[in-house]
Amino acid sequence: MSAGGHSPATGVWMFPDRPAPYLVEVAAHVEAAGMAELWLGDEGPAREPFAVLAAAAGVTERIRLGVAVTNPYVRHPALAASTMLTVHELSGGRAVLGVGAGGQMSLGPFGLRPQRPLAAVRDFVETVRAVARGQETGAYRPTDIAVSEAQVGVPMPVFVGARGEHLNRLASEVADGAFVAGMPPFRFGEVLTWVRSRRDVAVALYPSAAMSDEAVERHRPEMIWSLADAPSSVRLAVGVDDARVQAAAVALRGGDPGPARRIVDDEVLDRLMLVGDPDEVGRRLAALVGEHSPASVGLAIVQEDLHAAVEAAGLAFEAMRRHLGAVA
């Protein structure tokens, strides 16, 4: 079971790659389904996640609204902080800002590469905290019109989301939590050892899941990003070639999913994510919760019908609770 002997909070993580009004509808559905949080990715020139979450604040009353994750290269940290603090204000203190170094999917369209990622993410967290508290720091000087946590009365948590050791150790040192996602479940144990190396910070654990044939085929090429941005040891563990993965990522960005589909066969897909009906996914989630005790657990969903995906996620969480033997 999770820490405290109870089932953790639940939620979903989505890419903002659909019409914005549809994403806002789905946010309302997530709350109606009884979940506790919704996270949106920040994936380059997709829908603007901060704007979608601002709209979602108006159609929800309870769920946490998170960005997982933005990065220091496409957004100045002070501007990202003031933008998310506005969502925090609109939602009555329900916003969570996640930051990481950014991967090929988010940086590639802009021709950017992460420079000094550890220092950049550390500076980002420091600046966000300064903006939130109305304090001056090296990269920010507040003015009399600046937004801060004071207008809301509730602190805005800052999470770090990353795959590698150094940034996850940084999360343990400076962040309020870690968003652990975009990686095969077999890596969670190693990554959480780093996340909890300095402090026992909150963990949001979000494996990808496919609970229908359509979801499997939609996920299949997209999982190339999990391989492309992962350490080489992950590609070695699942038996795929580095050069082929990078070439497939380039092809997918250019609109050709064929190479990615050929690499991510059924065996590889099952190593990268949770595949099965909601009861099977719930069983696997219960095992992850029992092993890792996250503060919240959720599913990354990318299928065509996100409303159906939310319904399936709800069934999986019910199954998870049954397998945990916990009261919902």
Domain ranges of the chain: 3-212+274-324, 224-272
- Alpha-carbon distance of 283 to 14, in angstroms, equals 22
Structure tokens at 221: 């090429």
What is the predicted pLDDT for the residue at 4? 42
Across the range 97-101, mean pLDDT stands at: 97
Is the confidence at residue 105, as pLDDT, over 90?
A: no
Structure tokens at 296: 């919240």
pLDDT band at residue 328 using 50, 70 and 90 as cut-offs: very low
Helix axes 117-133, 77-90, angle to 10 degrees: 50
What is the CATH code of the structural domain delimited by 3-212+274-324? Answer: 3.20.20.30
3-state secondary structure 233-293: HHHHHHCCCHHHHHHHHHHHHCCCCHHHHHHCCHHHHHHHCEECCHHHHHHHHHHHHHHHC
Q: What percentage of the chain reaches a pLDDT higher than 90?
A: 89
pLDDT band at residue 306 using 50, 70 and 90 as cut-offs: very high
Tell me how far apart the terminal alpha carbons of the chain are, to the nearest angstrom: 13
pLDDT band at residue 326 using 50, 70 and 90 as cut-offs: low
The pTM of the whole model exceeds 0.75: yes
- Alpha-carbon distance of 29 to 212, in angstroms, equals 19
pLDDT in tens, 123-179: 999 999 999 999 999 889 999 999 999 999 999 999 999 999 999 999 999 999 999
pLDDT band at residue 6 using 50, 70 and 90 as cut-offs: low
pLDDT in tens, 217-252: 999 999 999 899 888 999 999 999 999 999 999 999
What is the predicted pLDDT for the residue at 7? 84
What is the predicted pLDDT for the residue at 2? 46
Q: Which residue has better confidence, 224 or 2?
A: 224
SS3 call for 305: coil
What is the predicted pLDDT for the residue at 1? 38
What is the predicted pLDDT for the residue at 139? 81
Across the range 186-190, mean pLDDT stands at: 97
pLDDT in tens, 247-303: 999 999 899 999 999 999 999 999 999 999 999 999 999 999 999 999 999 999 988
What is the predicted pLDDT for the residue at 258? 97
Across the range 33-59, mean pLDDT stands at: 96
pLDDT band at residue 3 using 50, 70 and 90 as cut-offs: very low
